[in-house]
Amino acid sequence: MPPDEEFLAFWNEWLAQPRKTRPDLGETLHKRWPVKADRIAYYRWSGRRADERLHARQMTNISPEELTEMLATMNYNNEIARGKLVNVLERSVVPWLPVGSDRAGGIYRIVPGAYGLLPDQQDPKTNRELVSMNVLGINTNVQPAIPFRSRKANFSEESTKSNESDDSDSASFVFHQIGNLEYWGGNPDNLRTYEDAANGTWFPTRFHAVMRFGRNGAANGVFVIYDFYPEDEYLQERRKLDDPDWGYLPSGLSDQQPISIAKIADKITDLRFGRTFDFVGPLDYPVELVRAMKTPEDTTIRVTVA
């Protein structure tokens, strides 16, 4: 049986040939190793190598500063750029991002992840290409029937038209998910360094941090959105929340009204410990999340539900 070094030399030799004239891998492999057992050994080696490379990529360190820079500067309309971001957000080892303290003294951080929120309809009918669910849209002028809350005037239960994300002050937009919002559970006086934060106790809030982006694909504000599809502990599946007790912050800041969505920063680079922030423009009623889709102009728009 050929050694691993021979397999690696064969692969590099084949890969070095011009793509347009590169011979079929299977045929080249058969010529190189006519014995079936040798070819099987090559495929097993190739599989192990792919797994090792994937593991190495997942474990590759990225600093909080590098992640922040990536989130701040990338083109969110670009599929390749989004793929690279998801790869980073879903790694086994990825740094969390400090957010700051709210006016009630609650301290928050973002634990990166690309797939926290779910749309109200996961498989809508559309003739356009759907974007992966790390990108979703929000319609703030639509109020789903569940969970119940007094309906806002002229608000429907489902969206009836699709709207493009833009750079205006429209409250409805598309966004990329960036992670879970967590709350510091210890004494605030004990949180002085990143080491304290790493060793301390953090609790989930059921809010997820997202990056709004405009028609040009540029970042346009950091928001938090409440997760209306929490996992059922008994059924071990995610189901739509049907409970009036939702949207309250653990710091007590939102004791009077629940929050479905609010802005926490104009720019991702604003986030840091020692910063006091407000939950800007909070909405106190359930909102509709929808899938996003590509346009022929390579922009991203929300999908109509109804």
Look over the chain and give the mean of its residue pLDDT values, rounded to a whole number: 82
244-271 tens-digit pLDDT: 788 888 876 655 688 999 999 999 999 9
CB within 8 Å of 241: residues ≥ 6 apart: 146, 147, 228, 229, 230
Kindly state the average pLDDT of the residues 115-130. 85
20-47 tens-digit pLDDT: 677 888 888 888 899 999 888 888 888 8
Distance (Å) of CA 101 to CA 17, 182, 184: 56, 12, 10
Distance CA 167, CA 163 (A): 13
pLDDT for residue 243 is more than 90: no
Q: What's residue 98's pLDDT? A: 93
For residue 123, which amino acid is it? D
Q: What's residue 186's pLDDT? A: 83
- From the list 85, 96, 98, the residue with the least C-alpha distance to 63 is 96
Distance CA 173, CA 158 (A): 16
Q: What's residue 166's pLDDT? A: 46
Q: Reduce the DSSP state of residue 45 to 3 states and report it.
A: helix
The beta-strand segments (E) located in 158-253 are 173-184, 202-213, 219-226, 231-232, 237-238
Kindly state the average pLDDT of the residues 129-137. 90
Query: What is the value of pTM for the model shown?
Result: 0.74
* CB-count burial class (<10 Å; 0-12, 13-18, 19+) for 209: buried
pLDDT for residue 174 is more than 90: yes
- From the list 222, 305, 303, the residue with the least C-alpha distance to 269 is 222
Beta carbons of 176 and 134 less than 8 angstroms apart:
yes
